[in-house]
Amino acid sequence: MAKDQGNSGRIGQAMRRREDAALLRGQGRFTDDLVPAGALHMVVFRAPVASARILDLDIAEAAQMPGVVAVLTADDLSAMPPAAVNPLIPGAPLVPMVVLAQGRVAAVGQPVAVVIAESRAAAEEAAEAIVLDTEEDAPTDSRHRVTEWQVGQRGRAETQVSVMLDHPRLAPFAMEPRAALALPEEDGLTVYLSTQTPHRAREDLARMLRMDRAALRVVAPDVGGAFGGKASIYPEDVLCAFAARRLGRPVAWRAGRGEEFLSATHGRGAASRAELALDADGRIAGLQARFDFALGYWMPYSTYAPVSNAGRILPGPYSAAAVDIAVDVRLTDLPAVNIYRGAGRPEAAMLMERAMDKAARAAGLDPFDLRRRNIIRAFPHDTPSGERLDSGDYAALLDRLEAASGYAAKRARQAERRAGGEIVGLGLALYVEPCGRGWETASLTLTPDGRFKALTGASAQGQGRETAFAQLLADELGVDPGRVTVGEGDSGALDQGIGALASRSTAIGGSAMQAAARALREKVLALLGDNDFPGWEAACAALAGHLPLSVAETYTAPGEAWASGAVLAEVAVDRDTGALMVEGITWVDDAGRVLNPLLVEGQLWGGMAQGIGAALMERLVIDADGQLLTGSLMDYAVPRASDMPARVRLEKIATETAANAFGAKGVGEAGCIGVPAALLNAAQDALSPFTDRDLALPLTSERLWRAMNNLEDCP
């Protein structure tokens, strides 16, 4: 197999030298920027139909076209082991990745063959020459009950409401589409991926390619966003690495925006129903909830995270005398569904908060009042699903939100505006979010020049992870942050790691960094033979013969932290068009111990933008024939600056947690959890003079106009 040490080495050095500031200067180095001269280019031929048997796949003409080096089909992969699927829910069906279709195509966009050529243009031209002959097949659609809890005895119900809520499929939509670059080497393979889980990708690739794990290096260079859509390995990643190994040359692939809509994993997609009963005192006598997740034709590693979270979170921040919760999954001939910012938390929060607002209206109670009657007040609290809410102050969240928003004045002003003919609404949402569990890694090295080089297994895609961890280490070590550099995303530099998932990186990754800093200090003291630390300059001088000095730590969290927050949304709806404007958001968030307030605020704003998109405009539409109707930005709307609220007020409280050493809770997904639920409640409140029917997502102007005019909802 040919070796390309020169390109691989230069790329590796570029990654090690990169600085955060380079991104601001337009000097970021993303996977597609690293393609060396002479690399081959891969293009995927995708199924144009769904639910069909393959009668014939003709690649002969494509294989003979100028510049084409190889055309690969499923026959070339026949001995490849399957990718892993996390068995998060025992007994749930597992459907591993289909790398290339064989015998049957399930969904439009499914990879059927790949063309590898000297240029992308040559590969694209050859892919158009491939002929696929199919015959219609019965579609897959099977339902499986995967989770259920029935706890407690329902009391007498004085008020009872029901809610129906369907979440459309959404596109995670990172600025940088997926990309892969595989560089064969004499004794192995280096793969650059736009991924948030480089170490997991290495595990999957090593197993599927039947390689020694030590011979495979996976690097996530600069990554332009992920949001869960890059959490699991994809068929294209495997095919790119496989082709490089087989051909002995670098192979590059990048998705076009249309490919991302069609073949990247989707988010959400759950149908949910709830019945909420209140007793005579306005306390929850019983909650019945049902979730139905329509999964696709294959399962990424983290498929069951949203499924698990949606069920286990209920009844959220509230106590309930009885719960009856069940979660089903449906296996279908549709694109795969995976985690997307929130991963089941938005589904649970929106269902619960919509039911609470509807129950408050039915019982003649203010939405704040009903929540105060039912919130959990003593911690730790064990939930009906067996989870432990370790800390929080939900009463303080509501109190702060009510005061910060000027709620009473806003209600009075709402009445005045309604009397003047305006259509305006206020919507409240109180939420909790589990923030990851398990382990993470860190290493720390003291160099001869007195600087500190750290590595974290928690990868970064724009969150400012390097800045936060440098600050954490500087505080722990008692040095200037400028003396600390932090690296991430390279399995060749740090052997193990989890990556960026589940709002866990600061809590668990930060705890690992803290442990590494303390371990380094202890190691220095042990070498000095003294209990009094002399300072780093003196220590470096005394230990010159021992430097560089390194430590490595793996931190396992003893529990799972649960963040929380409360949001009040203000909206106005145009009477003539149904267009909704978000006039204001007031938001109080509890993320525990905050390391860098500016980075936290950035996460809140980013999550808010995506939450607004999910609530008001985003929806992937697939017709009855499996064809994607929203395959470009001409059809799929994402939030623009003009869609952001006119006024935003962010407030924080902090209840620290003992679920990790650092005392932090997650914040990255909060905007997709609390904001959409508050917006839905605000829209329902605005339209309450016209209708009491459950509004469907997204809250487009057409939908709201139809609801105001008592017309059927749009498809």
DSSP 510-563: HHHHHHHHHHHHHHHHHHHT-SS---HHHHHHHTGGG-SEEEEEEEE-SS--EE
Write down the domain spans for the chain. Answer: 439-556
**Interaxial angle between packed helices 670-686 and 597-616, expressed in degrees from 0 to 180 and rounded to the nearest 10:** 40
Q: Which pair of tokens denotes residue 591?
A: 């993320």
CA distance 544 to 579: 68
Residue 194 near residue 224 (C-beta atoms within 8 A): yes
CA 275 to CA 289: how far, in whole Å? 7
439-556: CATH topology is Aldehyde Oxidoreductase; domain 4 (3.30.365)
268-326 tens-digit pLDDT: 999 999 999 999 999 999 999 999 999 999 999 999 999 999 999 999 999 999 999 99
CB proximity list for 357: less than 8 A, separation 6 or greater: 367, 427, 428, 681, 684, 685
pLDDT tens by residue, 598-619? 888 998 999 999 999 999 999 9
Render pLDDT for 448-458 as a digit per residue (tens, 0 to 9): 999 999 999 99
Instruction: Read off the pLDDT of residues 100-154 as tens digits, 9 standing for 90 and up.
Output: 999 999 999 999 999 999 999 999 999 999 999 999 999 999 999 999 999 988 8
Token pair listed for 144: 């499986």
Sign for the pseudo-dihedral over CA of 562, 566, 572, 573: positive
pLDDT tens digits, one per residue of 476-535: 999 999 999 999 999 999 999 998 887 788 889 999 999 999 999 999 999 998 778 888
Distance between first and last Cα of the chain: 54
What pLDDT, on a 0 to 100 scale, did the predictor assign at position 5?
37
Burial of 601 (0-12, 13-18, 19+ CB in 10 A): middle
Chain segment 183-213, per-residue pLDDT in tens: 999 889 999 999 999 999 999 999 999 999 9
* CA geometry: angle 428, 432, 438, nearest 5 deg: 160
How high is the mean pLDDT of the chain? 92
SS3 371: helix
Tokens of 323: 């719960």
| CB distance 146 to 328 below 8 Å | yes
pTM recorded for the entire structure: 0.93
Longest C-alpha distance within the chain, in Å?
A: 81
CA–CA distances in Å: residue 667 to residues 208, 213, 436, 687, 695? 35, 34, 11, 31, 28
